[in-house]
Structure 1
């Protein structure tokens, strides 16, 4: 059963380390650290994605900036309390890692950022069109984790996938494939003040509805 739960959230990326390690938290004496990785898109853009890595997997006292790393693990979330509000924090929880040379990089860049999720819609999908008429749907998927926990993963679908996603009701069982992406946006703090922030989400390339047996 545990293996099945782990299989419902799989992500693998290859990218360049662009920050030093920053302490996050400790669990039963094991320290976990955050480090940012830059992952190329097929376009000229890049995604800056945070990794959560145990100090038992890598020497967190070293500076690996500029080195290429390949990791596999799970896309996870947790709620951080900020005053009276909760903020959803997302990162890739690393299970395995290795450093790679440019010669080892896959020819297709799409293979350097892949994610598969098997979960349930936990909010009504938000469907809209851009001013240019492009269809978009925002979906929040709850993915089960061992010991009764869940990760809440924001996903964004386009075109026909967006239209299809908009028909799925809360509780609907979905399997999605795509890539992890970062996106800058401007948050309005008050009438006079704004703040630039970064959101992390899954850009969906394939989406399937799963008919659960009664």
Structure 2
């Protein structure tokens, strides 16, 4: 690999590379998230039918918050994450279940090479912000190659909808909501996200998605931050 390729293994923002932090991830996030409700909401948002016939890549699967539920509905699941300790946590969730339709791969947005046929759906939740914008575009092009034409790309992440001139008020208000719901410790993690990670503006991400051969079918956000994208691959772009 060329020396100028972005190092996905490099620490960015909140550090979930240690086993201790990986174990705490679900405990902290479940103070303000319902994983099963999120999964069912995603299925509805994407208007997915006959999911038992579909194959899915969960890119940036983390501790398996989505992958675990996907195994119950989809034909095949590929859980991909750059952190081996996060994957270990995901595997522990499945250890007492009789599940054989998931494969975990230790890789990232830029390093993962999908060896099988293009999938019907690619999901990335709360992970895409770890890449700077240039590398987000490259990652989207790589995702294009992983999805069949007509297949779906689902992005769930922090994306800024507000006018840049309003950034101080908008961000302060958003962080205060997390402090109220999840406590002072998680407030610090949200502050770290804003300061050290790479969430971007909606108008920028929209352009990247379209340039990577996708059509944005739907986009929704209740707070101008947490955003869901339903995109369809309309053009095959080889890289």
TM bucket, shorter chain: under 0.3
Structure-2-length-normalised TM-score: 0.22
The structure with the largest strand share of the pair is 1
Structure-1-length-normalised TM-score: 0.24
